[in-house]
Structure 1
Amino acid sequence: MKTSRGLRSAFVTGATGLLGNNLVRELVARGVSVKALARSMSKGQQQFAGVEDVELVLGDMADVPAFSDALQGCDAVFHTAAFFRDNFKGGSHWEELKRINVDGTQQLIEQAYRAGVRRFIQTSSIAVLNGEPGAPIDETCLRDLADAEDDYYRSKILADQVVLDFLATHPDMHASFVLPGWMWGPADIGPTSSGQFVNDVVLGKLPGLLPGSFSVVDARDVARAQISAAENGQRGERYLAAGRHMTMQELVPLVGKIAGIKTPTRNLPFPLLYLLAAAQELYARISGKPILLSLATVRLMRKEAGRSHFNHAKSEQQLQLKFRPIEQTIADTVAWYRGNDWLPGVPTQ
């Protein structure tokens, strides 16, 4: 077992999520005792059944003081929790985004410091970066707050600023930022947008190929980047872990090939996407169920087209970041859903 240098215990928010659960497992594999924040004890028990050295902490980022005592004795806090998915069901969610992503982050770093924690890893996002379509984007290409038309993007910019402001007044606090792309991977019980996407593709619910490009990354690689940031990252620095640039025309057939199913080949024009998104938002409001496409998603796809080429040189040099093949990520994701009875087995020929 590889030990994590300098880390004996860690606190992980959003522990049952896609990134959080894979981070917890990676920490435990390195001999680190983990306190895992979960909003539901039953969900936490389901996610970490059979995983040793994990102490479940019941709590919510909407009320950080309620679980702050559990921060005592931890060497580092890994903040992966965020309000995200409901923002893409339509309607306005700014109050909740600010309360969880911005105010919650501020309370968390304050309470962590008060508890004696001096290492804080903020899960940022490629949403805080901007650049010209087709040009490589690195950690210096910061998005101006005035350009963040999407409320989620705005909340992530402000959350990062909260951490930087805290560092400015607390010179003995060490914090750094990891910026993931579109995360995929196993044990996505939410599911997140990628897990929902895999299910929709394999179950034949995708009506066609969406426009735009994405940066696809394995959540397990992001987890390793976060641990390396805690051990080797520089104070106040941002580190990209965005992954591989892909278009839907590349991604969907690859999912189909690995899953052993046929996938759509027609491209969906933007006018049709807006109609589909409006219908899906109505369905989401009535059913409360996750959807693949919202008006916010369509607007983002149009605005961010081509802005998914990222330069990882800094993370590769300072964090020794490496990415596993995207084929392995997709195969592991599909296998997990099939193994947990979300999807039918491999079709017979």
Structure 2
Amino acid sequence: MADTHTTPLPGRERALVTGATGLLGSNIVRLLLKQGQEVVALVRDLDRARTLLPADPRLRLAPGDVTDPDSYRTLFAGVDEVFHTAAYFREYFQDPSLTEPLERVNVTGTRLVLAAAAEAGVPVFVHTSSINTLALRGPEQPADESTPPPEKYAGLRVSECYPSSKVRAERAVDEMIRSGRTGSTRVSVVLPGWMWGPGDAGPTSSGRLFLGVAKGAVKAVPRLSNYVVDARDVAFACVAAARVGRHDRYVVAGVKRSVPGLTGAVATETGVRPPRAVPAGLALAAASLMELQARLGGGEPTATRAGVRVLREGEDRHITSGLAERDLGVEFRSVAETVAATGAWYRQQGTLPAGPLRAATVR
């Protein structure tokens, strides 16, 4: 399938991608390889990376941990750009009290990777944040790059949830820039919406929802909406921000979609009955039950109260991605294309049964 984006981007010799086996990181790796450049992929598990990333002579798999600079400091030699996508997001699927990795990986890890890149004189560093770092705005004045963080996260001294960890990470980046610790390294921050798409091996919340619907495990979803974006479009935005970006922050929220519409598209694609739409309050109660069952029986719940609350906030969000569209040439794929590509990828991985693709629809 042809790439959605037609904006030409100048070439680079070598890039380093953290979180390279993740949903966004893997798509950045593929995009960079497609452009013919060398890529260093920082990964925690080499065997897993070999199964998830392309076998390409220009790709170097390097084991490392973003919280341990000694494991990657030497990798920055000769690197033209760093794409920092590594993040801890499993708070949505685990005991909500397990928040320590949020601060250690998302905040401290970001600070350490940026410091190493600056020390090595890497020209460009692109940090991945989230639209959840933007305060809610009404339709008359949608949130954009200048919007401050939600007040409830602004004064936190430690991360208490995923959105707050991203607020704190952005603050750490900003403090390093203002203090001069980034040296000559230019820093750009990309704020994606709820990412969907192929390559979601984690899986993230979207991948878990996709697979839950496809396997018939999700019977109902909240009657809510959120900003949805294809991870391949975010990957393009990150590379464009590094190559042609003129601003230090880009919102790449995508398009506001209904959750029942999304899951309906997944159901059509995979040939199952779509989940029924229920009020948000009922979905919250169901998520509480799933959390209890997971604690008693082990494993991870398909949905959690934290996840439903984020969707509830998404219902009230109004965001513009106009700057990224104008400045970077970002274009957003349709839900049909995203869902079809995701289904195809899960079939290739053996996660879903092989079968013909079905035409996905969204309402």
Distance (whole Å) between structure 2 residues aligned to residue 141 and residue 315 of structure 1 = 15
Provide closer, same or farther for how the CA distance between residues 301 and 286 of structure 1 changes in structure 2, counting only shifts above 3 A. same
Per-residue Cα deviation, 1:142-187 (whole angstroms, up to 9, x for no partner): 2245346962111101111111122223352201111111111112
Other-structure match for 2:58 = 53
Question: What does the per-residue CA deviation read over 1:104-131, in whole Å, with 9 as the maximum and x for residues that have no partner?
Answer: 1111111111112121000011011122
Q: How does 1:320-339 map to 2 (within 5 A)?
A: 320-339=329-348
Residue type of the partner of 2:186? H
Kindly tell me: are residues 165 and 214 of structure 1, through their superposed partners in 2, closer, same or farther at Cα, counting changes over 3 Å? same
Query: Is 2:302 the counterpart of 1:292?
Result: yes
In structure 2, do the counterparts of structure 1 residues 49 and 288 end up closer, same or farther at CA, with 3 Å as the change threshold? farther
Task: Tell me whether 209-218 or 10-19 shows the greater mean CA deviation.
Answer: 209-218
Shift of 1:282: 3.3
Task: Describe how 1:1-349 pairs up with structure 2 within 5 A.
Answer: 5-134=10-139, 136-147=142-153, 151-170=161-180, 172-234=184-246, 237-270=248-281, 272-285=282-295, 289-307=299-317, 309-346=318-355
Counterpart CA distance in 2 for 1:196 and 1:35 is 28
- Partner Cα distance (2:220, 2:32) in 1: 39
> Following the alignment from structure 2 to structure 1, what is the Cα–Cα distance between the partners of residues 217 and 198?
21
The residue type paired with residue 161 of structure 1 is R
Q: After TM superposition, what 4+ stretches of structure 1 lie above 6 angstroms from structure 2?
A: none
The answer on whether the counterparts of 2:92 and 2:304 sit within 8 Å (CA) in structure 1 is no
Whole-Å separation in 2 of the counterparts to 1:250 and 1:105 = 35
User: Percent identity at matched positions?
Assistant: 37
Q: Which moved more, 1:144-153 or 1:260-269?
A: 144-153
Q: Decide whether aligned partners of structure 1 residues 253 and 3 sit closer, same or farther in structure 2, where only a CA change above 3 A counts.
A: closer
Looking at structure 2, the residues matched to 155 and 316 of structure 1 have their Cα atoms a distance apart, in angstroms, of 27
Give the number of aligned pairs: 345
- In structure 2, relative to structure 1, the CA distance for the partners of 1:42 and 1:134 (3 Å cut) is same
Contact 2:20 2:26 in 1 (8 A): yes
Between 254-263 and 70-79, report the one with greater CA deviation. 254-263
What is the CA RMSD across the aligned residues, in angstroms?
2.4
Gaps of 5+ in 2: 1-6, 359-363
Map of 2:4 onto structure 1: none
Contact 1:167 1:173 in 2 (8 A): no
In the TM superposition, residue 244 of structure 1 has moved relative to its aligned partner by 1.3
Task: Check whether the contact 1:134–1:306 (CA below 8 A) recurs between aligned residues.
Answer: no
After TM superposition, give the deviation of residue 50 of structure 1 in Å: 2.2
Distance in 1 (alpha carbons) for counterparts of 2:149 and 2:15: 31
- Rounded to whole Å, the distance in 2 between the matches of 1:53 and 1:155 is 33
Q: Is the 8 A contact 1:12 1:37 kept in 2?
A: yes
The change in CA–CA distance for 1:268 and 1:206 in structure 2 (over 3 A counts) is farther
